[in-house]
A and B are shown apart, each in its own frame.
Chain A
Amino acid sequence: MFNDFLKKMMGTGSSKTDSKDVAKKRLKFALIYDKLEVSDDTLRCLHRDIIDVISRYFEIDQEAFKMDIRRSDDLSALIVNTPILSAKRHVSSQGQR
């Protein structure tokens, strides 16, 4: 584009990043965060359910169980960390109800 050429000729616009690009980047992240926002209630239920499911297969230390949502530039992850005390024997394919 002729204007871009002029900008470069005049030494403007070549080094500085356009503020609209900053806006777009910030927007993209804001929208991801907005959608991942989960209420405390939801997190508490999820916490309980995960413990329930894992407990069907393993003896776990419920006190030391940790759950967290981590966000980095391009991905979000649900991180669950739990010490396993022992495996349970005789687990059916349906799990133990």
Chain B
Amino acid sequence: MRCILDGRIIVITSGKGGVGKTTATASIGAALALEGRRVAVVDMDIGLRNLDVVMGLENRIVFNVVDAVKGKCKLKQAAIKDRRIENLYLIPASQSDNKNVLAPEEMERFGEILRKEFDYILMDCPAGIERGFENSVASADEAVVICAPEVSSVRDADRVIGLLYAKSITPKLVINRIIPEMVERGDMLNHIDVVDVLSIELIGLVPMDDQVIVATNTGTPLVLQRKSKAGEAFRRIALRLNGMTDLPIEVPQAEGHFWRKVGAKLGLGK
């Protein structure tokens, strides 16, 4: 039986690769920990681990999620504590196995152990809808679908949303990699279009931001970078997940454009 004090397991998924699941997991996880919650981020991309480098914790790995699930180590030994952010832990993927070493039933049992230790458990799902997806979703209570405003990504998101509904999970949507200038020109789907097509609840809009790559270069948490627009967007998503449901969703805006500034001065801009 689940108890109200048990943590929430949230899977971060997308179907399509490279849309920002790992970036989102690291950033939302860090932001939730900064709110004082105990957070574990779990890299479920077995064989292709990346969450560790994004978080700058790659040289502290001793045990991994496969070891922990198989009982080869204690949960405490596999969970790497972040030294910059209190209450943030990474459970890394193993790099030598493949996705089939774990089974959904094992993950369900592992989820029960995680729930007792943490307030939030974020599962960084691999791309695809095969075993890695099944394992990541097995113990999840909730799901965040990451989608880029682009045809193939939206289509894959729709497929994943269908699979999540089949597991009685009602997913929430984050649109990442938005390029406001292209949206403005009418050359990129805007968030209203995407929500219209996918018809699920939107919880955040994240712009394309150079700071994401800068933060990844150095392995520092994006949400600590005050001037990062993507970092700020992920922080607001974390706040919304953490109960601040009336926090408005900000639509990414193009950089100060001469005519827009004039327009704004004249009270004509949006």
**Could you list which residues of chain A lie within 8 angstroms of chain B, going by C-beta atoms?**
1-3, 5-6, 13, 18-21, 23-24, 26-28, 30-31, 34-35
Q: Closest CB-CB distance, B230 to chain A, in whole Å? A: 21
Quick one: which of B154, B162, B186 contacts A27, CB cutoff 8 A? Answer: B154
| Chain A residues whose C-beta falls within 8 Å of the C-beta of B260 in the assembled complex | 2-3
- Identify the stretch in B86-94, B134-142, B164-172, B189-197 within 8 Å (CB) of chain A at 4 or more residues: B189-197
| Chain B residues whose C-beta falls within 8 Å of the C-beta of A3 in the assembled complex | 184, 259-260, 263
| Chain A residues whose C-beta falls within 8 Å of the C-beta of B85 in the assembled complex | none
Number of interface residues of B (CB under 8 A): 25
Quick one: which of A13, A19, A21, A30 contacts B155, CB cutoff 8 A? Answer: A30
Q: Closest CB-CB distance, B38 to chain A, in whole Å? A: 39
Separation of A14 and B188 alpha carbons in the complex (Å): 17
B208 within 8 A of A: no
Q: What residue of chain A has the Cβ atom nearest to residue B158's Cβ?
A: A31
Quick one: which of B158, B186, B190, B197 contacts A19, CB cutoff 8 A? Answer: B186
Quick one: which of B183, B186, B270 contacts A21, CB cutoff 8 A? Answer: B186
Q: Closest CB-CB distance, B173 to chain A, in whole Å? A: 15
| Chain B residues whose C-beta falls within 8 Å of the C-beta of A18 in the assembled complex | 185-187
Q: Which 5 A-B pairs have the closest CB atoms?
A: A18-B186, A2-B263, A2-B268, A24-B193, A20-B189
